[in-house]
Amino acid sequence: MSNFDDIFESTPQTDEFDKEAWAAKKKAERDEVYALADATAEAVCADGGKFRDYLDVQAAFRNYSATNALLILATKPDARRLGDKDFWRDQGVYIKRQEFGRPIKIVESNGEYTRDDGSIGVSYNIKRVYDISQTTARMKAQPPVSHDARALLGALIYKKPVPIQSVDELPNDMGALYDHEQKAIFVCRGMGASDLFYEVSKALAHAELAMTNENYSYSTADFKAHCVSYILCKEFGIETDNLSFSPADFDIPKESSEADPQEIRAELSEIRDTAYDISARMARSLEQNKAPRHTEQER
């Protein structure tokens, strides 16, 4: 009979885990990732084309934070679907060998903690994700987003934050206007569906921004509202070719282009959060109004 007693004999202990070295390594990685996000934030606010590219990424990944959208833009701006290696393995596909060392590093919350002074902070980890193009999955052409115009406009004003009233004319040839004093949106009659979607979504963005900002003013919020409307247009398949982002005009305000990178990220986060809130309401409305599917043909 074989003797297996040696299995349970004590084995030499390996070096103890160096907690401080591990923490320092994690901090260095976080610092590197945030430095990339800050550099990208500065770059997008100095170039209208890059700003538009950032908004395109944010529209494609509405569940991702503004910081993570910046990191996606900096690492793989053409990304379409992201997941970590475990996610892709669960889908039955794997990361290509040559792509494994090229992850997109994003920031992920690791929960709250209590600081030495008793205040509550949030810790973050760096997560490595990969685009579907970096996997063995077959790339399928995605059909263009298409919604019935009436259903889309109905979803846009689903659970609207303020009343909406139709009018024959607005100042400066505006299509829609949020009036902060009256807490109402006024919309010109006679617009086509695409123009109507852009104008009303921008006015709704103004209303949302006014609700979350005690110092709201139409002029300072107008750029953010324009960006929110652009994101919504991209997400729901509305034409955006006529929407511009140029450092030469109001689209990239001087105060933003000269701001601290963290301030820029905070501004982008406000745009993202506003677009997300409206988009989430729209998604709920569109889902509720889906026609029931017939599983069996009537006979």
Angstrom distance (rounded) from CA 109 to CA 67 = 12
Per-residue confidence (pLDDT) for residue 290, from 0 to 100: 77
Per-residue confidence (pLDDT) for residue 294, from 0 to 100: 47
Per-residue confidence (pLDDT) for residue 9, from 0 to 100: 67
Per-residue confidence (pLDDT) for residue 22, from 0 to 100: 77
Going by C-alpha positions, the residue among 146, 8, 126 that lies closest to residue 75 is 126
Angstrom distance (rounded) from CA 207 to CA 156 = 13
User: DSSP label at 96?
Assistant: -
Would you say 124 and 98 are in contact if contact means Cβ atoms under 8 Å apart? no
Chunk the chain into consecutive blocks of 10 residues (it has 299) and report each block's average pLDDT, rounded to whole numbers: 66 69 84 95 89 95 96 97 94 93 92 74 87 90 77 94 96 94 96 96 98 92 94 93 67 61 91 97 90 47
- The SS3 call for residue 169 is coil
Per-residue confidence (pLDDT) for residue 167, from 0 to 100: 96
Going by C-alpha positions, the residue among 68, 97, 45, 59 that lies closest to residue 201 is 59
Q: For 99-123, b where at least 16 C-beta lie within 10 A, e where not — what string?
A: eeeebbbbbeeeeeeeeeeeeeeee
Q: Which two tokens stand for residue 249?
A: 């005009």
Angstrom distance (rounded) from CA 75 to CA 72 = 5
Going by C-alpha positions, the residue among 232, 194, 199 that lies closest to residue 55 is 232
Per-residue confidence (pLDDT) for residue 8, from 0 to 100: 66
Angstrom distance (rounded) from CA 51 to CA 41 = 9
Angstrom distance (rounded) from CA 194 to CA 149 = 8
Q: Which two tokens stand for residue 208?
A: 């949302």
CB atoms < 10 A from the CB of 82, how many? 22
Would you say 262 and 38 are in contact if contact means Cβ atoms under 8 Å apart? yes
Per-residue confidence (pLDDT) for residue 251, from 0 to 100: 46
